[in-house]
């Protein structure tokens, strides 16, 4: 097709239009931004004074050591500084006299593990750490500082991670799909590996190292035994070869029944000597292939996965068998506590505690029990898991979910740092006031010898890594909080925005404002007041009416318990008594329906429709208020986002604007589904000033059915 037809555009106008197009393209180089560079953009610093002051300080990068990690630290500084300052800065072995530069050096510093110190010695900037990985983290910290155009002297300081193992868990399958992945297919090209090593793996490692992540589990917890084969281990080794140069260890999820399915044994019983031998041999083989292999992540006796209970053994028996095989190599077992039996009379909320709390102290030294933040499954809001605080003799690791399985996939903009932080700051009261979840998982409360935090990755093969451009912030925030859980979601949002979108201060404030409110907005139209799981298989389309499944806890009605009297799950002493699993101080805060904070109300109480809440509204009116405020707030997000158009890359701006339009339509979909369905029980009118939904319940159900069609 011709761009300009002759009849419509006379020659002169055509030339003028072409000139304008070319001018637009030249003056707007930012259109080239496809999100691939994440927060490592290193844009040229626009302010000449700032540039000049940095330039004076950075004439060279000196590194005397010679490890891959140190070399990568120097290389990253060079790449970043060259781009930000618009000049070439050499990497040298010894500092250049009469010039100012960066010196990377290793020497013992105070503080644990991977920490670093940034100091000014004379006019040189010195990054020191006990380990080369610390120097790498310090280098990224300096680059982060400079990307925000902050005064160099303010970079001085020391920082150490509060948690030892800071990991991503990938739910990636051997055929390239990702369970609950919304950003394309797996990053790992298993078919091409090990011969072809995609340069993207290096960028993945850089991104992780830049936020302090030091471990990655490359395959799904619903694990294929294939990863343990002689065919796959070299593929995993090729990835590990890239990651280790950035201080990242590689781990595998294992299939507990592998001795049978892969090894041809008659059993996978963890107490069987042949089975133990099989794992010991397999582990040796793994370490021969990947000498710094991190260990195993295990989902056992959960959602159909095999495990020790298949043989009448306990989780501890299973974990300890693997721990024994890994111990000679300093490997660890990360054993998941995400379990719930198919007991129709049980409250799924209580399941993990019931199975694991009695096993406290029975796990081997190199086992960590990994607990999801809440007792059910990564809902938009959950109370903290009651396991935190109840296993003082067993290192408990945290599992957060970055991929938005229950939070609108890659369509809805939900900044998750407030969710992470809400859980980390929750007080378990296990050793009195101030016994926060954060202090449990960082080991300071129970002196755990091993500490771990994991995020279920939201990355995929999409060019921008995370599908929704703003979901990059969740990966970023996870890493930053894993390093230092005292950081505020606000500080992280501002930092990420400056690194990724714009340094224009009023727009940084506007974007951070959207981010900070986004999770609550989503909760309002999706699961307000402590509702949960109003969906089935899709984990996306609203189905609060869904009442049929092979087991009751896979229906929506199991969770919300709507009836003509009211709504919510009674977990007090008159109901399932799940509250009993918490300390009295926590219980007291939640057990009284009059005083229970509204965000948790329906998690713990069945509330009559007409009951007056602390907000002054009755339950029905409060629900409607939230369901209607949710979509209205998405309109606010749209408006706020439109206001930052001038300072955000146009392609990113357009992309996010489009997603916000869809988010609004789907927020209305959610609102209408819930309100119309619950109205069949409450039999109350939609309160003023809100309009009645413009569709019937049947129409919403039909639209959901269409969504669910294969
Ligand atoms: C990997 C939820 C998800 C599953 C996931 C499981 C788990 O049930 O829907 O896809 O399986 O959690 O965490 O093991």
Q: Is the dihedral of CA 690, 691, 694, 698 positive or negative?
A: positive
263 and 233 assigned to the same domain: yes
- Atom 11 of ligand 1: nearest residue by CA position: 222
- Residue 262 in contact with residue 217, Cβ under 8 Å? no
Kindly give the distance from the C-alpha atom of residue 623 to the centroid of ligand 1, in angstroms, as a whole number. 29
Classified as helix, coil or strand, 71 is helix
Predicted pLDDT of residue 407: 98
Give catalytic residue positions: 303, 377, 405
CA contacts within 13 A on the Cβ side of 539 = 16
Classified as helix, coil or strand, 511 is helix
Residue 590 lies inside a defined structural domain of this protein: no
Determine the atom of ligand 1 nearest the C-alpha atom of 372: 13
Which long-range contacts does 444-448 make (Cβ < 8 Å, 24+ apart)? 445/392, 446/392, 446/393, 448/395, 448/396
409 and 262 assigned to the same domain: yes
Helices (H), 426-580: 437-441, 472-483, 489-500, 505-526, 557-560
Give the integer Cα–Cα distance in Å for 701 and 677: 10
- Closest by alpha carbon to 526, among 639, 642, 423, 626? 626
383 and 460 assigned to the same domain: yes
Determine the atom of ligand 1 nearest the C-alpha atom of 299: 14
What string of H, E and C letters represents the secondary structure of 43-62? CCCCCHHHHHHHHHHCCCEE
Q: What is the largest CA-CA distance in the chain?
A: 87
Determine the atom of ligand 1 nearest the C-alpha atom of 221: 1
Give the integer Cα–Cα distance in Å for 677 and 700: 10
- Residue 307 phi, psi (nearest 5): -175, 180
Q: Does an H or E element contain 320, and which?
A: helix 315-326
Q: Which residues contact 7 (CB under 8 A, 6 or more apart)?
A: none
- Residue 290 in contact with residue 236, Cβ under 8 Å? yes
400 and 327 assigned to the same domain: yes
What would the two tokens of residue 510 be? 């506007």
Ligand 1 proximity of 536 Cβ (cutoff 6 Å): no
- Atom 13 of ligand 1: nearest residue by CA position: 338
Ligand 1 proximity of 51 Cβ (cutoff 6 Å): no
Ligand 1 proximity of 504 Cβ (cutoff 6 Å): no
104: which DSSP letter? E
365: which DSSP letter? T
Q: Which residues contact 571 (CB under 8 A, 6 or more apart)?
A: 347, 349, 577, 578, 579, 603, 604, 605
Give the integer Cα–Cα distance in Å for 196 and 187: 13
Residues of the chain with pLDDT > 70: what percent? 95
Final residue of a domain: which of 93, 127, 159? Answer: 159
Kindly give the distance from the C-alpha atom of residue 418 to the centroid of ligand 1, in angstroms, as a whole number. 22
Determine the atom of ligand 1 nearest the C-alpha atom of 171: 1
Ligand 1 proximity of 179 Cβ (cutoff 6 Å): yes
- Residue 527 in contact with residue 381, Cβ under 8 Å? yes
172: which DSSP letter? B
- Closest by alpha carbon to 364, among 400, 315, 420, 304? 315
Determine the atom of ligand 1 nearest the C-alpha atom of 302: 14
259 and 141 assigned to the same domain: no
Residue 35 lies inside a defined structural domain of this protein: no
Q: Which parts of the chain register pLDDT below 50? A: 1-10, 13-14, 16-31
436 and 549 assigned to the same domain: no
Residue 323 lies inside a defined structural domain of this protein: yes
**Among 169, 371, 377, which residue has the most ligand 1 atoms within 8 Å of its CB, making it the best to mutate?**
377
Instruction: Report the Cα 58 to chain-centroid distance in Å.
Output: 35
153 and 186 assigned to the same domain: no
175: which DSSP letter? T
481 and 558 assigned to the same domain: no
208 and 351 assigned to the same domain: yes
Kindly give the distance from the C-alpha atom of residue 131 to the centroid of ligand 1, in angstroms, as a whole number. 36
Final residue of a domain: which of 126, 159, 192? Answer: 159
Kindly give the distance from the C-alpha atom of residue 318 to the centroid of ligand 1, in angstroms, as a whole number. 20
Residue 582 lies inside a defined structural domain of this protein: no
Which residue is listed with tokens 């390239």? 176
Determine the atom of ligand 1 nearest the C-alpha atom of 539: 9
Ligand 1 proximity of 337 Cβ (cutoff 6 Å): no
Ligand 1 proximity of 222 Cβ (cutoff 6 Å): yes
Predicted pLDDT of residue 537: 83
Instruction: Report the Cα 692 to chain-centroid distance in Å.
Output: 37
**Among 220, 335, 337, 338, which residue has the most ligand 1 atoms within 8 Å of its CB, making it the best to mutate?**
338
Residue 33 lies inside a defined structural domain of this protein: no
- Residue 159 in contact with residue 482, Cβ under 8 Å? no
Instruction: Report the Cα 66 to chain-centroid distance in Å.
Output: 33
Give the integer Cα–Cα distance in Å for 284 and 267: 21
Kindly give the distance from the C-alpha atom of residue 339 to the centroid of ligand 1, in angstroms, as a whole number. 10
Q: What CATH number does residue 127 fall under?
A: 3.30.379.10
Kindly give the distance from the C-alpha atom of residue 73 to the centroid of ligand 1, in angstroms, as a whole number. 36
236 and 117 assigned to the same domain: no
Residue 2 lies inside a defined structural domain of this protein: no
Ligand 1 proximity of 377 Cβ (cutoff 6 Å): yes
Host domain of residue 100: 48-159
Helix-then-strand count for the chain, H and E: 21, 16
Instruction: Report the Cα 413 to chain-centroid distance in Å.
Output: 14
Q: Does an H or E element contain 296, and which?
A: strand 295-298
Ligand 1 proximity of 180 Cβ (cutoff 6 Å): yes
| Angstrom distances, CA of residue 710 to CA of 198, 329, 537, 548 | 33, 47, 12, 19
Final residue of a domain: which of 439, 474, 491? Answer: 491
Determine the atom of ligand 1 nearest the C-alpha atom of 179: 10
Q: Structural domain tally of the chain?
A: 3
User: For residue 29, how many other CB atoms are within 10 A of its CB?
Assistant: 9
190 and 308 assigned to the same domain: yes
Predicted pLDDT of residue 110: 82
Ligand 1 proximity of 14 Cβ (cutoff 6 Å): no
Ligand 1 proximity of 695 Cβ (cutoff 6 Å): no
What would the two tokens of residue 507 be? 């727009």
- Atom 7 of ligand 1: nearest residue by CA position: 338
| Angstrom distances, CA of residue 508 to CA of 150, 211, 218, 470, 504 | 15, 20, 34, 13, 6
**Among 169, 180, 379, which residue has the most ligand 1 atoms within 8 Å of its CB, making it the best to mutate?**
180
Cis link prior to 700 (omega < 30° from 0)?
no
Kindly give the distance from the C-alpha atom of residue 308 to the centroid of ligand 1, in angstroms, as a whole number. 19
Give the integer Cα–Cα distance in Å for 622 and 442: 38
- Atom 8 of ligand 1: nearest residue by CA position: 377
Predicted pLDDT of residue 651: 96
Residue 581 lies inside a defined structural domain of this protein: no
Give the integer Cα–Cα distance in Å for 241 and 237: 6
- Residue 255 in contact with residue 263, Cβ under 8 Å? no
- Closest by alpha carbon to 315, among 283, 276, 268, 363? 363
- Closest by alpha carbon to 534, among 514, 560, 510, 511? 560
- Closest by alpha carbon to 460, among 198, 184, 171? 184
138 and 184 assigned to the same domain: no
User: For residue 556, how many other CB atoms are within 10 A of its CB?
Assistant: 21
Kindly give the distance from the C-alpha atom of residue 478 to the centroid of ligand 1, in angstroms, as a whole number. 19
Determine the atom of ligand 1 nearest the C-alpha atom of 180: 10
Ligand 1 proximity of 340 Cβ (cutoff 6 Å): no
Residue 627 lies inside a defined structural domain of this protein: yes
Q: Which residues contact 262 (CB under 8 A, 6 or more apart)?
A: 225, 228, 229, 255
Ligand 1 proximity of 296 Cβ (cutoff 6 Å): no
Q: What CATH number does residue 391 fall under?
A: 3.20.20.80
């Amino acid at each position: 097709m011709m761009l300009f037809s002759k009849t419509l555009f006379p020659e002169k106008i055509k030339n003028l239009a072409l000139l304008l197009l070319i001018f637009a393209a030249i003056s707007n180089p930012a259109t080239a931004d496809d999100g691939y560079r994440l927060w490592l953009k290193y844009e040229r610093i626009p302010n000449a004074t700032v540039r000049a002051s940095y330039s004076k300080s950075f004439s060279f990068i000196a590194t005397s050591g010679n490890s891959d990690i140190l070399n990568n630290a120097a290389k990253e500084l060079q790449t970043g500084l060259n781009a930000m300052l618009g000049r070439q800065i050499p990497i040298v072995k010894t500092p250049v006299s009469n010039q100012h530069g960066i010196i990377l050096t290793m020497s013992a510093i105070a503080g644990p593990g991977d920490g670093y110190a940034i100091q000014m010695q004379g006019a040189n900037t010195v990054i020191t750490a006990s380990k080369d990985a610390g120097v790498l983290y310090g280098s990224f910290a300096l680059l982060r500082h400079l990307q925000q155009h902050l005064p160099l002297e303010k970079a001085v300081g020391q920082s150490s991670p509060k948690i030892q193992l800071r990991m991503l868990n990938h739910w990636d399958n051997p055929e390239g799909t990702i369970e609950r992945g919304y950003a394309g297919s797996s990053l790992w090209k298993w078919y091409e590996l090990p011969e072809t090593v995609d340069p993207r793996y290096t960028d993945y490692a850089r991104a992780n190292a830049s936020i302090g992540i030091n471990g990655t589990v490359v395959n799904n917890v619903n694990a294929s035994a294939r990863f343990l084969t002689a065919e796959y281990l070299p593929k995993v080794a090729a990835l590990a070869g890239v990651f280790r140069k950035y201080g990242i260890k590689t781990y595998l999820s294992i299939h507990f029944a592998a001795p049978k399915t892969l090894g041809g044994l008659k059993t996978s019983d963890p107490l069987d000597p042949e089975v133990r031998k099989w794992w010991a041999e397999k582990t040796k083989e793994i370490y021969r292939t990947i000498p710094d292999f991190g260990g195993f992540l295990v989902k056992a006796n959960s959602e159909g996965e095999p495990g020790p209970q298949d043989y009448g053994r306990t989780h501890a028996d299973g974990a300890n068998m693997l721990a024994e095989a890994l111990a000679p190599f300093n490997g660890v077992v990360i054993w998941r506590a995400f379990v719930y039996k198919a007991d129709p009379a049980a409250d799924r909320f209580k399941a993990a505690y019931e199975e694991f709390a009695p096993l406290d102290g029975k796990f081997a030294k190199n086992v960590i029990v990994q607990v999801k933040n809440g007792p059910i499954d990564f809902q938009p809001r959950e109370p903290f898991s009651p396991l935190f605080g109840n296993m003082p003799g067993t290192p408990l690791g945290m599992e957060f979910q970055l991929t938005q399985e229950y939070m609108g996939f890659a369509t809805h903009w939900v900044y998750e740092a407030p969710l992470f932080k809400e859980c980390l700051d929750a007080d378990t009261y296990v050793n009195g006031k101030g016994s926060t979840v954060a202090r449990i998982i960082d080991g300071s409360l129970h002196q755990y010898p091993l500490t771990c935090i994991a995020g279920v990755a939201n990355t995929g093969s999409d060019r921008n890594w995370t599908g929704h451009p703003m979901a990059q912030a969740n990966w970023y925030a996870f890493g930053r909080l894993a390093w230092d859980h005292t950081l505020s979601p606000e500080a992280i949002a501002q930092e990420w925005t400056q690194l990724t979108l714009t340094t224009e201060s009023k727009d940084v404030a506007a974007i951070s404002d959207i981010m900070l409110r986004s999770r609550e907005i989503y909760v309002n139209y999706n699961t307000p007041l402590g509702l949960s799981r109003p969906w089935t298989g899709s984990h996306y389309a609203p189905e609060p009416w869904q009442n049929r499944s092979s087991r009751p806890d896979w229906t929506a009605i199991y969770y919300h318990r709507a009836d003509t009297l009211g709504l919510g799950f009674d977990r007090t002493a008159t109901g399932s008594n799940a509250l009993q699993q918490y300390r009295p101080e926590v219980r007291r805060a939640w057990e009284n329906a009059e005083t229970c904070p509204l965000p948790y109300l329906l998690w713990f109480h069945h509330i009559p429709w007409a009951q007056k809440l602390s907000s002054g509204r009755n339950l029905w009116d409060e629900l409607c208020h939230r369901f209607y405020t949710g979509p209205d707030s998405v309109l606010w997000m749209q408006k706020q986002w439109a206001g930052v158009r001038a300072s955000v890359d146009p392609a990113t701006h357009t992309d996010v604007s489009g997603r916000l339009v869809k988010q609004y339509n789907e927020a209305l979909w959610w609102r209408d589904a819930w309100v119309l369905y619950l109205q069949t029980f409450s039999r109350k009118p939609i309160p003023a000033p809100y309009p009645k939904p413009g569709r019937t319940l049947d129409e919403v159900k039909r639209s959901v059915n269409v969504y669910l069609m294969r």
